[in-house]
């Protein structure tokens, strides 16, 4: 399972974010969204895509729709999250709540055969 990086928070959870910052806006919150279609097309050229899922950080909810029960597990992210998520943690939002509300830096999840994974995918 590969995670395609998101640009940031997007619209996910902005009600929660506004409750943390009031009217303050920081550059981390002004990231421009990008479409992941080109990333998926590029991956299709070199790998067999078995499934796609949105918001994979919300394990097991979204990923469970495309994977057998018990296969998608994550006790903590194995990817480097953006600093904005550390800031949200410092404001008192639990990891569980962040997983439920935000993408935690992953915009899309792609399931491919292990044999199609290359060192560039890590």
Q: How confident is the model at residue 36 (pLDDT cuts 50, 70, 90)?
A: confident
Query: What Rg, from alpha-carbon coordinates, does the chain have?
Result: 15
Complete domains list, the chain, with CATH: 2-113 (3.90.650.10)
Residue 75, token pair as written in the block: 């006790």
pLDDT in tens, 61-92: 555 666 776 666 555 557 778 888 888 899 99
Please tell me the distance from the alpha carbon of residue 18 to that of residue 16, in angstroms, as a whole number: 5
Q: What is the pLDDT of residue 49?
A: 92
Say how many CA atoms lie within 13 Å of 34 toward its Cβ: 12
pLDDT in tens, 86-112: 888 999 999 888 877 877 777 778 888
Q: What is the pLDDT of residue 96?
A: 81
Q: What is the pLDDT of residue 70?
A: 67
């Amino acid at each position: 399972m590969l995670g395609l990086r998101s640009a940031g928070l997007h619209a996910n959870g902005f009600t929660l974010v506004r409750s943390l910052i009031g009217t303050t806006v920081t550059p981390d919150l002004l990231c421009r969204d990008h479409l992941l279609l080109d990333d998926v097309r590029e991956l299709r050229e070199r790998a067999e895509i078995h499934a796609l899922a949105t918001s994979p950080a919300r394990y097991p909810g979204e990923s469970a729709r495309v994977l057998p029960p018990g296969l998608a597990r994550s006790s903590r992210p194995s990817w480097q999250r953006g600093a904005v998520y550390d800031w949200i943690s410092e404001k008192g939002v639990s990891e569980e709540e962040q997983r439920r509300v935000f993408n935690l830096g992953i915009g899309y999840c792609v399931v491919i055969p292990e044999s199609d994974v290359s060192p560039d995918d890590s």
